[in-house]
Structure 1
Amino acid sequence: MKKLLIAAIGVLFFTTANAQEVNVGLDFYNRYVFRGVDFGDGPSLQPTIEFTSGGFTIGAWGAFGTGNGILTNFNEADLYASYDFDFGLSLGATSYYYPGSSWFELDKGVSSHALELNLGYEVSGLSLSANYIVNDSSDGAGSEGGDMYFEIGYSGGLFDVFFGAGDGWHTTNGNLQVVNVGIGTSKEIKITDTFSIPMSGSLILNPNTEQFYIVVGVSF
């Protein structure tokens, strides 16, 4: 795992030297809900630093709670890389990490990262994704080991709908369950004639935990 992360950092520095585009952004959401699971009970700042060259993308994304409680100060800092093909297919990998533990490893033979392989396909508003955690259960990193998540979505203009199912760390019992059903939309808040702030919102139901969320945020 450590060798994979060091290799990813090497690719990051190589890519920055030849990057065609650099993106830096910050989202502010009323709460952080990922794949139907609520991480924290307060507002979340979510920064992004991303480099792209052709179809190749490598970047870093995080979520940092703004409260002082045990749940509201939940932090996450991920690295990811992907390649998008012209016909709608995308292949990638994501390294999930939670600040507070050693970035390199928690203990001998136990990683502080959950490494996930990502597969996606988009065509005519329809999107499909499949994700698989490479770590086994003895590797720790907050995952059950071999966790899977599948999602289908459709963008119909005014609204987007999505339906996701997962197992392992996505569910309460570790078995494959429907965990993420919802509808989302977005708009731009006009500030001046030349400046607008994107705003998005989602209604999310997790049938596995029987929880319902309203998530709204702005992007800069």
Structure 2
Amino acid sequence: MTQPSRTNLSLLLGIILSTGVVAVDAVGQSVSLGTDLVSRYVWRGADFGESLSIQPTLTVSGTGLEVGAWASYATNPAGAGVNELDLWVGYTIETSSSGSVSFGVTDYYFPAPDAPTLFNFENGGEGAHWIEPFASYTGPSSFPITIYGAAFVHNDPDDSIYLEASYPFQVQDVELGLTAGASAGESSLYGTTKFTFINLGVSASKSVPITDQFALPLFVSYIVNPTPGAARSFLVVGISL
């Protein structure tokens, strides 16, 4: 589920992952594509697949509107049950002095071998699609904090709500970020019965020179899910292509 760089949709990866992309501009629009290779796919404090994963992304954006597709595929066949393909649409309103506001909706789909088929839109946890509207605010460059909120409105019996704050900063040539995410109440999806922090992390990213003309984007994230009874930590490394 992530969300991706998908900078305008900090949900999808926030500051935990940074994605390398190739962008082409045409008539005021931009088409971006890229792929991450990550040691583990960890989303909101949960490991999906316990496997090295390949995560391609494709976005089309222009005049504040962004439409995209993002996926995660486990390289270990045992993790195929949580393979994921997300579609999203979002819109960002930016100001020169007050930051930006983004809102949109994400459709999470899990194309596992035994999962419900693509056109199964049943509710109550029985369908193939989990629908989640989201909204976020990112402050100006003087204080670039991001506040993010999202709530499942389809296929989640608990209508789970997720809240997150993240803050980026830089030390020398390393981009760093802090993240604190929480389930807002009872949720079987997140394994919580009340407001509970489920996703605490610090991330670092930089480009590692390989040749005089090529540098490899590298990122590392330390993530902790302190949920009582299910506490776990992760150290994730990834590269962007």
Amino acid of the structure 1 residue aligned with 2:75: T
Query: Number of matched residues?
Result: 197
Equivalent position of 1:214 in the other structure:
235
Secondary structure of the equivalent of 1:157? strand
- Aligned pair 1:176/2:195, yes or no? yes
Determine the structure 1 residue equivalent to 2:16. Answer: none
Residue pairs, 1:148-163, within 5 angstroms: 148-158=161-171, 159-163=176-180
Higher helix share: 1
Consecutive unaligned residues in structure 2, runs of 5 or more = 1-25
Mapped contact 1:116–1:133 kept (Cα < 8 A): yes
**Preserved CA contact (<8 Å) 1:120 1:127:** yes
Select the structure with the greater relative contact order (CA < 8 A; seq sep ≥ 6). 2
Find the counterpart in structure 2 of residue 90 from structure 1.
Answer: 102
Distance 2:214 2:87 in 1: 30
TM-score, reference length from structure 2: 0.76
- Indicate the residue corresponding to 1:165 in structure 2: 182
Shift in Å at residue 196 of structure 1? 1.4
Give 1:96's aligned amino acid.
Y
Q: How does 1:1-220 map to 2 (within 5 A)?
A: 20-69=29-78, 71=79, 74-87=82-95, 88-100=100-112, 101-105=116-120, 110-123=126-139, 124-135=143-154, 140=155, 143-158=156-171, 159-166=176-183, 167=185, 168-208=187-227, 209-220=230-241
Q: Once the 2 structures are TM-superposed, how far is the Cα of residue 50 of structure 1 from its aligned partner?
A: 0.7
Runs of 4+ with >4 A deviation:
106-110
Paired position in structure 2 for 1:13 = none
Q: 1:64 to 1:19 in 2, by over 3 A?
A: farther
Residues 112/155 of structure 1: CA separation in 2 closer, same or farther (3 Å cut): same
**Percent identity of paired positions between Structure 1 and Structure 2:** 31
Query: Structure 1-normalised TM-score?
Result: 0.83
